[in-house]
Amino acid sequence: MKTIRLTAAQAMMRWLSVQMTDEGERFIEGVWAIFGHGNVAGIGEALHGVRDSLPTWRGHNEQTMAHAAIAFAKAKKRRRAMAVTTSIGPGALNVVTAAGVAFANRLPLLIIPGDVFANRAPDPVLQQLEDFNDGTVSVNDCFRPVSRYFDRISRPEHILTALPRAFRVLTDPADCGPVCLAFCQDVQAEAFDYPEAFFTPKVWKIRRPEPDADELAEAIAAIKSAKNPVIVAGGGVIYSGAEADLAAFASAHNIPVVETQAGKSSLDHDHALNFGPVGVTGAASANTVCENADLVIGLGTRFQDFTTASWTLFKNPTRQILSINVAAYDSYKHGAINLTSDAKVALQAIGKSLGNQKWPSILSLQADWAAATAAVKAAPTSNALPSDMQVIGAVQRTATKASVVMSAAGTMPGELHKIWDAPAGGYHMEYGFSCMGYEIAGALGIKMARPDADVICMLGDGSYMMANSELATAVMMGIGFTVLITDNRGYGCINRLQKATGGAGFNNLLDQSHHVNPSHIDFTAHAAAMGAHAVKVSTIAELEAALTAAKGAKIPQVIVIDTDPWPGTDAGGSWWDVGVPAVSARAEVNQARVSYEEKQKDQRLVD
């Protein structure tokens, strides 16, 4: 057997550089790196050696460079991914939040944090935590609950088994999620005689699991006997590449489709059977259909509480749930009729069996909803501060088929889900974890995945303050996208929720939180200081002009506009279970508790 002598880090990076997709591209597009004493010597030297075949990019924050990697994988429909490497200690821990994002959203992310010395000779090293009761623990054990696969590389030959296991998870549609390979820093630099065959290029194909015959027969029987079926389209439709299949299936059988946050833009917004967004942030059209449905067909959705209105949405007393999901964990939820299968394969198999069967047309509800959304998106007629919905309207009027709006937390996810008219593929929302700080780094990752897209990052001042440093990275890399900051001077979304549950306005808006000096943050100057092109606009007309001017730029374009923190879209939507205190000195809280207990009675947890 021919061998080649390499350090463990050199062997890992050489192996990563030859793992391919069936389209002839590297599965790992590149590696985001912030070097420190836990990875600069071993991994840093190894990445330098393969820099022409496996690029390395420098981030400004470990969490946000991982967000960029996650957004890239999401935009690539899980067909490709990126890796992230950090030093030990704080650098590694900064990635744990991003690992949670990838875990909740079932997205591939390869995390390679430096770890303590396997030989323990210099213990304790700088940034090493010492567990008084367990000598094997390091900070990287924090990754265990937010990793689909965790391994600690404490011998050079460990990568021979650890790397293929890692890629099995990264490329498995049912088990997809983050992988953490904690790499002991002394082991990174140790040499081993690796088999040359280990570095033979390998093609990783994404499986399409076929449905079990009995499960498929039960699912078909349930659909055939339904009188008012509805399809709840989730992110699995997009990851399966089943958008065209869904459109054809819905049209062929006249079954209405509603979209989750992850599934929005799986159909064009103006498709005749697209009844709009569903659930807490849903359209009246979609929620009405769901309330009356006797069969709820979940297609690639995990039935998150925003989708189900905390399990109060599907009100038909005879209703059943059919859950079609590549992950058995999801297809068995809430007593559903389960069909564990790839979405594309399932649609084709069911459609073949249904033949020409069609369901009666539903009274068109989309026109009324379109009128409601148009009203809240219309440009203001007064000099008052614009609402977030009016800002969305400005973006809508300047958008094209190439536009992709994205966000993650605060007001924008709810309003965009409700009222944004998304073309196919024109929506990117991180709402599995709803992580503040994902937005700007996510926009960078999307643009790296889809360089021809017009990426528009919409976020509030709170999320901008949470994490903005990858603006400087995008400037350095010459990657352009639009960042639209709506400054409502605080956490406006949570402030509204606080008031809605009877609470006093407290600690959310800046002028309602503890301060000695009033807050005045110049976001335009801040963004410009990082090299972005930044402007402050005062009106919706100025905003539309700035949005138009931003298209095609080679560096980030930041647009700031002051908005009113109070309005939200009243139309549409449904209940969300947020625990209201059972005892309070505030009459408003007690009143909200009474309403809360009444709504709880509508919850139907199991069929």
- What is the pLDDT, as a whole number, of residue 250? 98
DSSP codes of every residue in 423-478:
PTT-EEE--SS--TTHHHHHHHHHHHH-TTSEEEEEEEHHHHHH--THHHHHHHHT
Indicate the angle between helix axes 388-398 and 366-377, nearest 10 degrees.
100
Residue found under tokens 């994205």? 406
pLDDT, tens digit, for every residue of 538-549? 999 999 999 999
pLDDT, tens digit, for every residue of 513-572? 998 898 889 999 999 999 999 999 999 999 999 999 999 999 999 999 999 998 999 999
> Are 458 and 543 within one domain?
yes
- Give the CATH number for residue 230: 3.40.50.1220
Residue 570 lies inside a defined structural domain of this protein: no
> Are 295 and 418 within one domain?
no
> Are 278 and 396 within one domain?
no
Residue 370 lies inside a defined structural domain of this protein: no
Give the integer Cα–Cα distance in Å for 473 and 254: 47
Give the integer Cα–Cα distance in Å for 246 and 244: 5
Residue 568 lies inside a defined structural domain of this protein: no
**DSSP-derived secondary structure letter, 360:** P
CB 50 within 8 A of CB 104: no
Domain's final residue, options 204, 230, 245: 204
Q: What residues contact 265, with CB distance under 8 A and at least 6 apart?
A: 238, 259, 422, 423, 424, 425, 426, 427
Tell me the percentage of the chain whose pLDDT exceeds 90.
96
- What is the pLDDT, as a whole number, of residue 604? 86
pLDDT band (50, 70, 90) for residue 200: very high
CB 606 within 8 A of CB 593: no
> Are 430 and 542 within one domain?
yes
Residue 16 lies inside a defined structural domain of this protein: yes
- What is the pLDDT, as a whole number, of residue 302? 97
- What is the pLDDT, as a whole number, of residue 605? 78
Residue 576 lies inside a defined structural domain of this protein: no
Give the integer Cα–Cα distance in Å for 317 and 171: 40
Give the sign of the dihedral formed by CA 365, CA 366, CA 369, CA 371: negative
451: which 2 tokens? 């360089």
- What is the pLDDT, as a whole number, of residue 299? 98
Give backbone dihedrals phi and psi of 558, rounded to 5 degrees, phi first: -105, 125
Give backbone dihedrals phi and psi of 122, rounded to 5 degrees, phi first: -95, 10
- What is the pLDDT, as a whole number, of residue 104? 98
Residue 573 lies inside a defined structural domain of this protein: no
> Are 393 and 313 within one domain?
no
Domain's final residue, options 204, 224, 256: 204
Give the integer Cα–Cα distance in Å for 234 and 417: 13
> Is residue 43 over pLDDT 90?
yes
For β-strands 56-58 and 28-33, DSSP reports them as parallel
> Are 339 and 225 within one domain?
yes
Give the integer Cα–Cα distance in Å for 339 and 214: 9
pLDDT, tens digit, for every residue of 358-415? 999 887 899 999 999 999 999 988 878 999 999 999 999 999 999 999 999 999 999 9
Indicate the angle between helix axes 243-253 and 343-354, nearest 10 degrees.
20
CB 286 within 8 A of CB 275: yes
Domain's final residue, options 171, 204, 237: 204
- What is the pLDDT, as a whole number, of residue 382? 84
> Are 187 and 259 within one domain?
no
Amino acid occupying residue 325? N
- Mean local confidence (pLDDT), 148-155: 98
Q: What residues contact 374, with CB distance under 8 A and at least 6 apart?
A: none
Give the domain range for residue 507: 378-562
Cβ density class 129-144: b for 16+ within 10 Å, e for less:
eeeeeeeeebbbbbbe
557 SS3 class: strand
- Give the CATH number for residue 189: 3.40.50.970
> Are 389 and 472 within one domain?
yes
Instruction: Quote the number of domains for the chain.
Output: 4
- What is the pLDDT, as a whole number, of residue 364? 80
Tell me the percentage of the chain whose pLDDT exceeds 70.
100
> Are 599 and 535 within one domain?
no
pLDDT, tens digit, for every residue of 55-105? 999 999 999 999 999 999 999 999 999 999 999 999 999 999 999 999 999
Residue 571 lies inside a defined structural domain of this protein: no
Give the integer Cα–Cα distance in Å for 471 and 587: 45
> Are 324 and 219 within one domain?
yes
40: which 2 tokens? 């600069």
Give backbone dihedrals phi and psi of 567, rounded to 5 degrees, phi first: -70, 150
Helix residue ranges per DSSP H, 267-358: 284-292, 305-308, 328-331, 343-354
- What is the pLDDT, as a whole number, of residue 413? 96
Longest dimension (CA), the chain: 79
Give the integer Cα–Cα distance in Å for 30 and 57: 8
- What is the pLDDT, as a whole number, of residue 363? 76
In 3D space, the residue among 73, 298, 63 whose CA is nearest the CA of residue 171 turns out to be 73
In 3D space, the residue among 260, 291, 296, 266 whose CA is nearest the CA of residue 278 turns out to be 260
- Mean local confidence (pLDDT), 181-204: 98
From the CA atom positions of the chain, what is the Rg in Å? 25
Give the integer Cα–Cα distance in Å for 315 and 244: 30
Residue 424 lies inside a defined structural domain of this protein: yes
Return the half-sphere exposure (C-beta side, CA atoms, 13 A cut-off) of residue 579: 3
> Are 37 and 165 within one domain?
yes
> Are 200 and 223 within one domain?
no
Which H helix or E strand runs over 598? helix 587-600
